[in-house]
Structure 1
Amino acid sequence: MTDELVFYTAPMSRGRIVRWMLEEVGAPYRTELVGFGPAMKGEGYRAINPMGKVPALRHGGTVVTECAAILAYLADAFPEAGLAPAPTTLARGAYYRWLFFCAGPVEAATTNTVLGVTVPDDPRMRGMVGYGSLDSVLDTLEGAVSGRDFVAGDRFSAADLYLAAHLGWGMQFRTIPRRPAFEAYASRHAARPAAVRAREIDDGLLARQQAAS
């Protein structure tokens, strides 16, 4: 596909995850910075994402929002980057499983914990909560990353990127406890050249924003 890639983001947001993915893909892209507040909630940007949030990606006439969706889209749009297992392999199931486990239970459980939202200790109520409990989510995640380099097959994929980014961010801001398996997995993938480039880009943008304010 030759249509232009336009990346809408803010340097201190979940857009950092997508920036890393774009650097892994290696295709040219243009960054559009969207400021928090009026710019992000304004009519112009809401034409891209009605939620008024970043990140978002425009690829020609296609617009994709939500980090996991953007990662999955880019992996399929640029198969030469090798960021998703082939559809006919067993690893493809694990790829989908952990990509969306992170987007669903991990995101919900950690956010609710930070906000102080607790699930009543009632089996009927607890059954309504898809993630069950933060402990069960973290234990499941620890089992997925312990003793292995990759969660889907024998090579790095968008699922590893998403999990490593969430773990790194969560441990940094203490929304996810530091466990040896989490630290080993996240730090290993955070050292990838594309991850380092992405951080340098966003850190530079953030520094310029702070200097201008």
Structure 2
Amino acid sequence: MLTLFHAPRSRSSRIITLLRELDALDKVEVEIVDITRGDGSGRKDPANPHPEGKVPLLVHDGVVLWETIAIIQYLTDLFPEKRMAPHVGDPQRGRYLSWLAWYAGVVEPVLIAQAAGVSHPYFDATFRGPTEMAARLENALKDSPYLMGEHYSAADLLLHSPFAWYPAATPDSAVIKDWVERCGARPSLQWTADFDARVAAVA
């Protein structure tokens, strides 16, 4: 049994979108929980088994998975039919996993530091900065519509998400902006927005 603990309009919305892309929502029980939000609203929900009250959290037959990257990799391997990720043994598997790790290890820290107005030589040397981040994306997208080439993947779903959520952080690059718009036009994104709106309305 698969159970996803989800809070509307949060980081776990990406997992709802992924499940929609995988055509797997009917195979997952979605438990709606509250979370503490950046504006001070919400609360740590006792119904959420995540020790820090965060989302997403996935439970599969009693095994608990946390962190978006781990959950994306797990679900795309569990439901390979829609080809949202290269399978094990595919020559492109390493490139795909690198994009996921780069998001967690570089993109989120860089964007959070940028939003907070934080800068330090140690931080910049470790995580790089907005300029280097933009250059990596632009180089990957200059000759293909998606990060893995011609085919939309879970890497695009993940990496475009902060720019869709906070457009002001989008690098000033026509190539990157076109990619963000292309990813944002996926029907699964609108489906998730409608789903979250319905859930929030009855919460």
Tell me the TM-score normalised to structure 1 length. 0.82
- Cα offsets for 1:62-96 (capped at 9, x unmatched): 22111111111100111122111122222112101
Q: CA deviation at 1:195?
A: 2.4
Q: State the 1:141 CA deviation.
A: 1.8
Q: Does 1:139 align with 2:135?
A: yes
**Is the aligned partner of 1:73 residue 2:74?**
yes
RMSD: 2.2
The residue aligned with 1:30 is: 29
**Which of 184, 188, 196 is the matching residue for 1:194?**
188
In the aligned structure 2, how far is the partner of 1:197 from the partner of 1:60?
27
Name the CA shift for 1:137/1:150 in 2 (closer, same or farther; >3 Å): same
Q: Which runs of 5+ in 1 are unaligned?
A: none
1:56–1:64 CA contact under 8 A, matched in 2: yes
The 1:9/1:153 distance shift into structure 2, 3 A limit, reads same
Partner residue, 1:21: 18
Question: What secondary structure, in the 3-state scheme, does the structure 2 residue paired with 1:32 have?
Answer: strand
Q: 2:166 aligns with which of 155, 167, 170?
A: 170
Q: Distance in 2 between matches of 1:67 and 1:177?
A: 23
Distance 1:40 1:70, change over 3 A: farther
**Residue identity in the other structure for 1:134:** P
Q: In structure 2, what is the Cα distance between the partners aligned to 1:126 and 1:64?
A: 29
Cα contact 1:56–1:63 (8 A) shared by 2:
yes
- 1:21 maps to a residue whose letter is L
User: TM-score, normalised on structure 2?
Assistant: 0.86
Matching residue within 151, 155, 167 for 2:151: 155
- TM-superposition CA deviations, 1:31-72 (whole Å, max 9, x none): 211112498525442xx2112111111222222111111111
Match of 1:12 in 2: 9
Alignment: residue pair count? 197
What is the Cα deviation at residue 177 of structure 1? 3.6
Q: Which residue of 1 aligns with 2:96?
A: 95
Looking at structure 1, the residues matched to 104 and 159 of structure 2 have their Cα atoms a distance apart, in angstroms, of 9
The question of 1:50 aligning with 2:42 is answered: no
Question: 3-state SS of the aligned residue for 2:128?
Answer: coil
Q: Which residue of 1 aligns with 2:44?
A: 41
Alpha-carbon shift at residue 144 of structure 1 (Å)? 1.8
